[in-house]
Structure 1
Amino acid sequence: MPQDIDESFVALPLRALADAALARARALGAEHADFRFERVRDAAWRLRDARLSSSSDTTDTGYAVRVVHGGAWGFASGVELTMDAAARVAGQAVAMAKLSAKVTAAAGSEEQGPRSASPEGRWWETGGRVELAAEPVHADRTWVSSYEINPFHVPDKDKIALLAEWSGRLLAAEGVSHADASLLAVQENKFYADTAGTTTTQQRVRLHPELTAVAVDPESGEFDSMRTLAPPVGRGWEYLTGTGWDWDAELAEIPSLLAEKMRAPGVQAGTYDLVIDPSNLWLTIHESIGHATELDRALGYEAAYAGTSFATFDKLGSLKYGSEVMHVTGDRTAEHGLATIGYDDEGVAGQSWDLVRDGTLVGYQLDRRIAKRCGFERSNGCAYADSPSHVPVQRMANVSLRPAAGGPSTRELIGAVERGLYLVGDRSWSIDQQRYNFQFTAQRAFRIENGQLAGQVRDFAYQATTTDFWGSMEAVGGPQTYVLGGAVNCGKAQPAQVAAVSHGCPSALFRGVTILNTAQEAGR
């Protein structure tokens, strides 16, 4: 059932504040101005052994004005809900743009040269005026994410009771020494208006529930843990009551899987074929594709903090990213996706597009400035700010590996392996600043012998370069294996910002991947 925008948000003087700010920016000669009002509420509950250990409930409310004046950016934010204050913030943004223009000129910034993607041209590294790609006007639009029950309409005691009951199930099982439970709930409201005439009002809800069982061997002191595979989602409270995930089934199997893991032998290092479950593969997609195809990063704008990318702009259309079965999309429209929006923080409508097609790099994630600067007709809607006090930056869409129509089941992929591993659940990871050399572990690894699962192993990690890894992908599963995973804590930018993003993928088969024994590597 479609939900309405929270009445207490739309009752705020959103348009009056926007009108005052935009009128002042125009009067001061801004070439472009946008106004963004945000109210972001996030709440979290943590339980230790079925008892509440901490909780929080915070709301961040305010507005921001961003301008282009004299070919330079200006930005300012405020919290006072008066027309005079909004106009004053707009004036501060224009003053900041004027200062930025002076700094750029003093640094000897060159004008943008001919548009060439050749390494010699490297025109995108020069300075030049800030210009934005054209965007259709979207007047008086509203959008609400797909959910049934707003989690903030559910009493806290009911949330805590459910987490405690689930924790009790884990604690009652043989071999479980401790149980941790947590829930994060977020409601994000945004109002956007710009001098072109776009006005949008939006509401997004997301949840991240998580339970972890811990086993401790009292004799040896050895311990391990196992966590639920349920991903964070753009859903409401219904997610915890059976819509979109079978919590009863997962909680029932965790204790026995953890007990088996405690007894499992260490992996024998070597080369293996891998069948990787979506619960693990989503993170490899995030780190080796999602970040690598952010065009601001590929152009070097994030080098000082988040790093660069091996997938540089001169390789667009030619870089062999992976095998021919590799089809990856960027998507701001996927139902229940954490990065799904109606309109981004530059007034750009949500879209879906190809990043990698038939194994070749064919696209990037863009905002309006980068799109214009690099010769694209328009942005694909990847501007986002996590707070009214932060400027929008280019952020990740839902980046997903597409399944094969009529493709195999996970069981059929396992059946195609003589000697290998089946990896389930994300755990630790490491990747270099160019998103090229990496190492990932998993919560669970099952030996595959002659097409059959043959028990768990421990102390494993898979290691590769990005192109070698995706080049070794022989097959992807069908739609029945596809799961939308993701994270709520993707970091980027200075000052640092956090964004939530989903990554869908099917199970997939990789041939000849290096497996390390992490205990041996650590000298244990």
Structure 2
Amino acid sequence: MPKPREVVLPPTPRSAGRSIDESFTALPLRRLADAALARARALGADHADFRYERVRSASWTLRDARPAGSADTTDAGYAVRVVHGGAWGFAAGVDPTEDGAARVAAQAVAMAELSARVIRAAGTEEWVELADEPAHGERTWVSAYDVNPFDVPDEEKTGLLTAWSERLLAAEGVAHVDASLLAVQENKFYADTAGTVTTQQRVRLHPQLTAVAVADSGEFDTMRTIAPPVGRGWEYLTGTGWDWDAELAELPGLLARKMAAPGVEPGSYDLVVHPSNLWLTIHESVGHATELDRALGYEAAYAGTSFATFDQLGTLRYGSPAMNVTGDRTAEHGLATVGYDDEGVAAQSWDLVRDGVLVGYQLDRRIARLTGLGRSNGCAHADSPAHVPVQRMANVSLAPAPRGPSTEELISGVERGIYVVGDRSWSIDMQRYNFQFTGQRFFRIENGRLAGQVRDVAYQATTTDFWGSLEAVGGPQTYLLAGAFNCGKAQPGQIAAVSHGCPSALFRGVNILNTTQEAGR
């Protein structure tokens, strides 16, 4: 089995000068960690780590330019995880005292001892061991943003959403407008018995507007903004990173033309897929499929398995030679970007698919050691202090061609096809192999030119057929980092935010369904 290419590791993840929230650093984080780790060592743990986490999540929603709801919640506490007797132990608490932290550590060790007895009684010999990771000392990391959205008055947030909603409502044919904004500030403190101590802060935003049209017949449809959720601050809504004026200006016209558009004729078409749609296909068919815990069967009880099994590493023809996909914890503004993961592993970038061939997986420290792949690439994450870290998705992205074509040039090479923009619904099987995706906007391509919208489009394929039909990817000028706040995994369930970058891309001979006709069968 060929060895995956060595990961690319920046010497020290940097935070561009931003500082950690003082209300977080004022907490007795080191004292709690020292007490917990000392107790775990005294009780014989082979490894122990302490994680204090505070996650503030807020949302604002408007319906027809009027407030429809808001929320502002904070989840805070700490957890201790140990390896003892070849088994995991985990416990969480909220008592902010050294004695409380020590008690939680003792509970984690007791759980490991019980788990070890149960495992041995069951006859398994799978001991928990962790891949080596250098001790990083004390490190601080803050994500890339200019203005923390929680420093902006709520009146300013709802005022901007109101103004945008009123602008859309004033347009002909728009009957209703839904507007929402989600904001998260995530603070984590981590310390382990090897000597790594990290303090981190991540900020992310997800703004969204949806315009609704209703015909006299009662028929209705929607058109949503394609601006992606991002690891940015308030500046994202006021001019940096997205042209909101242009997006809002074109939305009513796109909706009106969609209402008048004919349904698609099913059949085989060439597709040019915009990154605002393709990111979700990458997420479902590549991102989840290359989580190695899934490929090994550890997610089978809940979220499925993977067709990209471990025995195919280095040989599986995932797609065409134009397909180059990376896992990346370092991408600027990425939703899954960190300085260090929840096992103290430094952020990295590495290949998953190279020239169309599967060459890597996403790993945490246990899976890396279990499979002999060497070092973890930093994919352990927990979404709250009450949850144990599990293997979670990095920013999984399709690389553009260095001097590749524009989207218009990709379209010009298509005689009969469809141009797909924006994500909507999706469906994929438990092995991440058979899938179907829809979108926000579909345009006919005739003789290399756009020829109006069509409706009710879904593209359907198997993962390897779809990526095998990839003929060309656009250049860097077509690249967009999109993603989602709510990727789900594990039992008990956890969610994680993750981004997927990609250029526009051309696929040949993809099966197209008419969703209205399919629903009527």
1:67 maps to 2:64: no
Partner of 1:216: 214
Deviation at 1:520, TM superposition (A): 1.0
1:428 and 1:440 in contact (8 A); partners too: yes
Partner of 1:166: 164
**Equivalent in 502, 511, 515 of residue 508 of structure 2:** 511
* Residues in 2 aligned to 1:103 and 1:433: alpha-carbon distance in whole angstroms: 29
**What does 1:3-152 correspond to in 2, within 5 Å?**
3-109=18-124, 111=125, 128-152=126-150
Alignment TM-score, normalising by the size of structure 1: 0.96
Partner of 2:438: 441
**What does 1:121-520 correspond to in 2, within 5 Å?**
128-217=126-215, 219-520=216-517
Q: Structure 2: 5+ residue runs without aligned partners? A: 1-15
Partner of 2:8: none
Deviation at 1:103, TM superposition (A): 1.0
4+ runs deviating over 4 angstroms: none
Secondary structure in 2 aligned to 1:428? strand
* Residues in 1 aligned to 2:30 and 2:254: alpha-carbon distance in whole angstroms: 55
* Residues in 2 aligned to 1:183 and 1:97: alpha-carbon distance in whole angstroms: 42
Alignment TM-score, normalising by the size of structure 2: 0.97
* Residues in 2 aligned to 1:192 and 1:360: alpha-carbon distance in whole angstroms: 36
CA deviation map 1:427-472 (0-9, x unaligned): 0000000000000001110000000000000011000000000000
Please tell me the residue identity of whatever aligns with 1:294. Answer: E
* Residues in 2 aligned to 1:253 and 1:381: alpha-carbon distance in whole angstroms: 41
* Residues in 2 aligned to 1:90 and 1:270: alpha-carbon distance in whole angstroms: 60
* Residues in 2 aligned to 1:318 and 1:484: alpha-carbon distance in whole angstroms: 29
Q: Structure 1: 5+ residue runs without aligned partners? A: 112-127
1:403 and 1:478 in contact (8 A); partners too: yes
Please tell me the residue identity of whatever aligns with 1:56. Answer: A
Secondary structure in 2 aligned to 1:257? helix
1:139 and 1:198 in contact (8 A); partners too: yes
Secondary structure in 2 aligned to 1:258? helix
Please tell me the residue identity of whatever aligns with 2:76. Answer: T
Please tell me the residue identity of whatever aligns with 2:140. Answer: T
1:270 and 1:514 in contact (8 A); partners too: yes
CA deviation map 1:335-365 (0-9, x unaligned): 0000000000000000000000000000000
Partner of 1:122: none
* Residues in 2 aligned to 1:138 and 1:344: alpha-carbon distance in whole angstroms: 12
Deviation at 1:521, TM superposition (A): 1.1
Partner of 2:9: none
Secondary structure in 2 aligned to 1:159? helix
* Residues in 2 aligned to 1:488 and 1:190: alpha-carbon distance in whole angstroms: 18
1:2 and 1:148 in contact (8 A); partners too: no
CA deviation map 1:254-287 (0-9, x unaligned): 0000000000000000000000000000000000
CA deviation map 1:361-403 (0-9, x unaligned): 0000000000000001100000000000000000000000000
CA deviation map 1:34-83 (0-9, x unaligned): 00000100000000000111000000110000000001000000001000
CA deviation map 1:288-347 (0-9, x unaligned): 000000000000000000000000000000000000000000000000000000000000
Partner of 2:11: none
1:2 and 1:146 in contact (8 A); partners too: no
1:417 and 1:451 in contact (8 A); partners too: yes
Secondary structure in 2 aligned to 1:522? helix
1:69 and 1:94 in contact (8 A); partners too: yes
Please tell me the residue identity of whatever aligns with 2:23. Answer: S
* Residues in 2 aligned to 1:150 and 1:459: alpha-carbon distance in whole angstroms: 40
Deviation at 1:182, TM superposition (A): 0.3
* Residues in 2 aligned to 1:23 and 1:229: alpha-carbon distance in whole angstroms: 50
1:34 and 1:65 in contact (8 A); partners too: yes
CA deviation map 1:75-116 (0-9, x unaligned): 00000100000000000000000110011011110x3xxxxx
Deviation at 1:523, TM superposition (A): 1.6
**Kindly, what percent of the aligned residue pairs are identical?**
80
* Residues in 2 aligned to 1:140 and 1:347: alpha-carbon distance in whole angstroms: 11
Please tell me the residue identity of whatever aligns with 1:236. Answer: G
* Residues in 2 aligned to 1:461 and 1:103: alpha-carbon distance in whole angstroms: 48
Deviation at 1:2, TM superposition (A): 2.6
* Residues in 1 aligned to 2:283 and 2:480: alpha-carbon distance in whole angstroms: 14
The count of residues paired between Structure 1 and Structure 2 equals 506
CA RMSD of aligned residues (A): 0.6
* Residues in 2 aligned to 1:239 and 1:340: alpha-carbon distance in whole angstroms: 17
* Residues in 2 aligned to 1:45 and 1:484: alpha-carbon distance in whole angstroms: 24
* Residues in 2 aligned to 1:389 and 1:232: alpha-carbon distance in whole angstroms: 25
Secondary structure in 1 aligned to 2:144? coil
Secondary structure in 2 aligned to 1:204? strand
* Residues in 2 aligned to 1:11 and 1:345: alpha-carbon distance in whole angstroms: 21
Please tell me the residue identity of whatever aligns with 2:197. Answer: T
